[in-house]
Homo-oligomer: A and B are copies of this chain.
Amino acid sequence: MMAFPEPLLRLIQNLARLPGLGEKSATRLALYLLRRPEEEVCELAESLREMRKRVRLCERCFNFSAERLCEICRDPERDPQIICIVEDPAALSSIETSGVFRGLYHVLHGLLSPRDGIGPRELRLHDLFERLKREDIKEVLLALSPTVAGEATASYLAEVLRDFPVRITRLACGVPMGMDIRYADKLTLKRALEGRRPL
């Protein structure tokens, strides 16, 4: 244990718990923060607390949101007749930044992966079916990564969505196979969105 005053040790312990930080990097980071202006450190502390207290899931699409409904669901300019199914909010964010898609979203918060014990019940699928019953949705666009789990989830969805009177589409294969959609560049995503084709 280091011979530092208690408030410094407490911070180092808390930082060392974060993923990718060991005790050495936590110590380095804490000593760096000790040299920074007090306002800067308090701003970091405040943004941590605010983020955790205010960010929750949108009640409609399960995107991250600071309100009951997320900014996208509240936007009257968006087309509510087409919803884009994504794995998680980071994937949603990637698609948003392409600036092409003007519909709404539905965030699954995972992909089917029987090996990891993630079946249909672990995803926001029941909520998707409820939306399809309640809302006037004409098209469901599957924007899942073309990985094993993404493909499996897309096939499953194509199957179960057949019972609903909606057009089912998926992103065109502009996204290279095996690439995580969260790291795809804007242009690739734009091409994939424009070239979406019926399943």
Q: Are A27 and B90 interface neighbours, CB within 8 A?
A: yes
Copies of this chain in its oligomeric complex: 2
Chain A residues touching B, majority SS: helix
Given A10-B51, A50-B10, do A29 and B18 touch, yes or no (CB 8 Å)?
yes
Q: How far is the CA of A165 from the CA of B186 in the complex (A)?
A: 71
Q: Are A97 and B2 interface neighbours, CB within 8 A?
A: yes
Q: How far is the CA of A15 from the CA of B3 in the complex (A)?
A: 27
Q: How far is the CA of A27 from the CA of B88 in the complex (A)?
A: 13
Given A8-B51, A11-B51, A52-B41, do A90 and B1 touch, yes or no (CB 8 Å)?
no
Determine the chain B residues whose CB is within 8 A of the CB of A43 once the complex forms: 14
Q: Are B45 and A7 interface neighbours, CB within 8 A?
A: no
Query: Contact residue range for chain A?
Result: 35 or more
Q: How far is the CA of A93 from the CA of B30 in the complex (A)?
A: 14
List residues of chain A with CB under 8 Å of any chain B CB. 1-8, 10-11, 14-15, 18-20, 25, 27-34, 36, 38, 41-55, 64-66, 70-72, 89-90, 92-93, 96-97
19 CB < 8 A contacts A-B: A3-B97, A5-B66, A7-B50, A7-B51, A10-B51, A11-B47, A11-B48, A11-B50, A18-B29, A19-B28, A20-B25, A20-B28, A20-B29, A34-B51, A34-B64, A36-B52, A41-B51, A42-B48, A45-B48
